[in-house]
Amino acid sequence: MLLAVDIGNTKIKLAVFEGAALLQRFSFGKEEAVAGVENIFLTCPQITHSILSVVGKEDDELFLLLKKQTAVIAVSHALTFPFINKYATPATLGIDRMVLAAGAVLQYPAQNRLVIDAGTCITYDFTDAADNYLGGAISPGLQLRYNAMHTFTAKLPLLYPEMPQNYIGNSTAQSMHVGATYGLLHEIEGFINTYVQDYQQLTVILTGGDAEFLAKRLKNTIFANSNFLLESLNHLFLYTINHK
């Protein structure tokens, strides 16, 4: 069994895999992570391997626990990926973006793919049908847009994502909801439409914490999968052990 671990900016997400099958999924705050993982090992003693992706600050205690209990792969730029990296500054490309691109290549072969990860930030990552990673975009995530409006103005309140009833906001709060949610939806639709102009056969995968909130409101055809990064870690692990 494999334990896939995604250390993000705010949470640690984990999943137990047997081959290609996702058996269990977990999510912890960073202060709960070590105790949570210890419990996973107690309830799933068959776990022999782990793969770790870190976006935020690495938890040394958690890494030592994984190393003690399993044969661990820490994803880094030195790992062999299933695509040709044509990013102009490859050393600055986020590990999470590389994992998502790898998952797209391995799960959707011989296709143009755009992975949209709607988390703290929105990342767009594109690989073409010849498995070239060309890059993408980074923009503020949904809650970050609310936070910015509150932090950098004198009177706007701190709000949390809510889909407004109408695209015309009839109060300050509703206007903020319209701006944040419709603004992000139009951004995503706009990016997809722009890519389709040059890459007609385009597979779009939407993932991340806000994927479910956004997916039902997007007009374009997409694959919404909030577990895509964890699944991509599993696919990358299988790819890695088969290409040693």
User: What is the domain partition of the chain in residue ranges?
Assistant: 2-74, 84-233
What pLDDT score does 31 carry?
85
Q: Where are the alpha helices (DSSP H) in 85-222?
A: 95-107, 142-151, 172-177, 183-198, 211-215
From the number of C-beta atoms within 10 Å of its C-beta (0-12, 13-18, 19+), residue 43 rates as exposed
What pLDDT score does 244 carry?
67
Token pair for 210: 């806000």
What pLDDT score does 38 carry?
95
Between CA 48 and CA 71 the distance in angstroms is 6
Token pair for 193: 């439409």
Between CA 229 and CA 208 the distance in angstroms is 8
What pLDDT score does 84 carry?
97
96 is catalytic: yes
Residue 229 burial (CB count, 10 A): 25
Cα angle 92-95-101, degrees, rounded to a multiple of 5: 105
The CATH H-level (homologous superfamily) assignment of domain 2-74 is: ATPase, nucleotide binding domain (3.30.420.40)
Between CA 83 and CA 134 the distance in angstroms is 10
Phi, psi of 15, rounded to the nearest 5 degrees: -150, 145
Q: What is the CA radius of gyration of the chain?
A: 19
Are 80 and 240 contacting, i.e. CB atoms less than 8 angstroms apart?
yes
Catalytic residue among 6, 59, 60, 96: 96
> Measured in Å, how far apart are the chain's first and last C-alpha atoms?
19
Token pair for 243: 């290409």
Per-residue pLDDT for the chain (244 aa), expressed as one digit of tens each? 999 999 987 789 999 999 999 999 999 988 888 999 999 999 999 999 999 999 877 778 999 999 999 999 999 999 999 999 999 999 999 999 999 999 999 999 999 999 999 999 999 999 999 999 999 999 999 999 999 999 999 999 999 999 998 999 999 999 999 999 999 999 999 999 999 999 989 999 999 989 999 998 898 888 999 999 999 999 999 999 888 6
What pLDDT score does 59 carry?
74
Predicted TM-score of the model (pTM): 0.93
Between CA 177 and CA 159 the distance in angstroms is 8
Instruction: Enter the CATH code of domain 84-233.
Output: 3.30.420.40
Spatial strand order of the sheet with 2-7 comes to 21-29, 11-18, 2-7, 49-54, 71-74
What does 13-29 look like in DSSP terms, one character per residue? EEEEEETTEEEEEEEEE
In CATH terms, are 2-74 and 84-233 the same topology?
yes
